[in-house]
Amino acid sequence: MITIFRKKLKIKTQLPKNCANKDLFIFKRREFYYLPKLIVNEKKNVFLTHYGIILKNMLPIRYSLPNAFGFRKPNAGFIFQFYRKALETFLVCRFGKSLESIKLSKEKKYLFAFSPWFGYFSWITESLPRIYSTEKEHEKLTLILPESYSNKSFVMESLKVFPNLSYEIIPEGVHMNIPKAIIPELKPFTYVFNPKTMIEFRKKMWSYVDDLNFNIDRHKKIYVSRSKAKNRKIVNNDQVESSFINNGFEVLNFEDYSFFEQVYLMKHCNILAGVHGAGFANIAFMAENSSLFELIKEYSSYKEERPSYWRLCSALRIDYYIQYCEPKEYGNYDLWVGVDLKVNINELEDNLNNIC
């Protein structure tokens, strides 16, 4: 096997503005990361599963899967899991009848820019930047859009930024044989970001919303409530919201706003605060020198770390503040993301005074 080595960027993540000395080790060991130069590939005669794994000659195409690079744990587990599932799907589609597959038009070039881990965060920080990277060729391309994606309003709204790009909705559960595929490579890990890419993408989104008219108030300080969320709620929420309100924050639910309204709000927001969640992907649209204040479950294991918004803030030159919170209960909960939190009010007030 011939391995092609690419030049890699060494990227430094700015440490949190308010990190206590006892917690510095959490961030110090992830202060630097490497990012290879990503390119746009054109591949012929590939197989794509409806959930986003693409194969060429029965092997996964490099830089098309999230968090599946390298053969050390846990990445080897991801590679095996993804590859086995995709290979089984391919073989059943090829030789069996229990799974449905179609052959897409050989007259079109199909743009592939989604992955098995679909959500608001992955769409904003991975899929949209990948689509943006091919913008000059959009008149010649057709975006592959799974039916499950087309049912999400934020997906269909955000695609209006690319008026020259057509798309083809693939029915749920249908796999694809693609004669010509255009594949913008995916960054190797979910929690790494190319600062240049994200800054240019932010400018693109800003230029679009600048031409729209909005009938909503904008706020310099926003606290994102989780009152409409299913999990990760705050046990002492009334006290917490009172603290934010008393410090000049407006309490909002992102669910009450359209996608471009959220972009508009973020562009004009100086300080965004709230509990760790997918909605914080909206910091991709905040200005340089603004601030994010993230409430998150207290550290207990390296495996539970989620440095996504810390690193995204650094890439976009946004100040990052953090407060660790006690979980409502300790035990075998699903990883850590679903647990409710109790916020230390005295510490919260100190942090708010520091930030504001």
Across 265-273, average pLDDT: 98
The answer on pLDDT for 70 being more than 60 is no
48 and 155 part of one domain: yes
Domain boundary among 129, 164, 186: 186
26 and 73 housed in the same domain? no
Does position 21 have pLDDT exceeding 90, yes or no?
Answer: no
Residue range(s) defining the domain that contains residue 221 = 7-35+191-356
Averaged pLDDT, 78-102: 87
> CA 219 → CA 132, 225, 243, 280, 353, distances in Å?
28, 15, 17, 16, 18
Last residue of a domain, one of 132, 152, 186: 186
Assess if residue 277 is contained within a domain.
yes
Number of helices and strands in the chain (H, E): 11, 16
pLDDT of residue 331: 64
Q: In angstroms, how far apart are the furthest CA atoms of the chain?
A: 65
Answer yes or no: is 1 within a domain.
no
SS3 of 90, please?
A: helix
| Range 144-162 average pLDDT | 97
State whether 128 and 252 are in the same domain: no
- The amino acid that residue 355 corresponds to is I
pLDDT of residue 71: 46
Asked if residue 323 and residue 277 are part of one domain, the reply reads yes
Task: Express each pLDDT in 191-247 by its tens digit.
Answer: 999 999 999 999 999 999 999 999 999 999 999 998 777 777 899 999 999 999 999
- Mean pLDDT for 131-137 is 98
**What does pTM read for this prediction?**
0.92
In terms of domains, do 330 and 315 share one? Answer: yes
- 327, 198: one domain: yes
Q: Do 101 and 11 belong to one domain? A: no
Residue 22 lies in a domain: yes
What is the tally of structural domains in the chain?
2
The Cα–Cα gap between 156 and 153 comes to 5
Position 78 scores a pLDDT of 58
The answer on 97 and 173 residing in a single domain is: yes
pLDDT band at 1 (very low <50, low <70, confident <90, very high): very low
Contact present, 13 and 30 (Cβ < 8 Å): yes
User: What 3-state DSSP class applies to 192?
Assistant: coil
CA distance 342 to 272: 19
- The residue among 42 and 80 whose pLDDT is bigger is 42
Per-residue confidence (pLDDT) for residue 336, from 0 to 100: 55
If asked whether residues 215 and 312 sit together in one domain, one would say: yes
For residue 46, being part of any structural domain is answered with yes
Q: Do 354 and 210 have their domain in common?
A: yes
- CATH code for position 318: 3.40.50
Q: Is residue 245 part of a domain?
A: yes
Last residue of a domain, one of 158, 186, 214: 186
**Is 84 a residue whose pLDDT tops 90?**
no
CB atoms within 10 A of CB 255: 12
Contacts of 127 (CB under 8 A, 6+ apart): 113, 114, 115
pLDDT of residue 69: 56
Q: What is the pLDDT of residues 315-353, one digit of tens each?
A: 999 999 999 999 887 765 444 567 889 999 999 999 999
Residue 2 lies in a domain: no
pLDDT at residue 3, as a whole number? 43
Question: What would the two tokens of residue 274 be?
Answer: 């709230």
The verdict on 18 and 111 lying in the same domain is no
Instruction: Clarify whether residues 70 and 201 are in a common domain.
Output: no
pLDDT score, position 74: 44
Nearest residue to 115 via CA among 67, 171, 167: 67
What's the pLDDT band for 73 if we cut at 50, 70, 90? Answer: very low
**How much is the pLDDT for 339?**
83
Q: Does residue 2 surpass a pLDDT of 60?
A: no
CB 246 within 8 A of CB 223: no
Place of tokens 């070039």: 109
Distance CA 210, CA 83 (A): 43
> pLDDT tens digit string along 29-40?
899 999 999 999
pLDDT of residue 280: 95
pLDDT confidence tier of residue 19, bands split at 50, 70 and 90: confident
What angle, 0 to 180 degrees and rounded to 10, lies between the N-to-C axes of helices 308-315 and 195-209?
80
Q: What is the pLDDT of residue 76?
A: 47
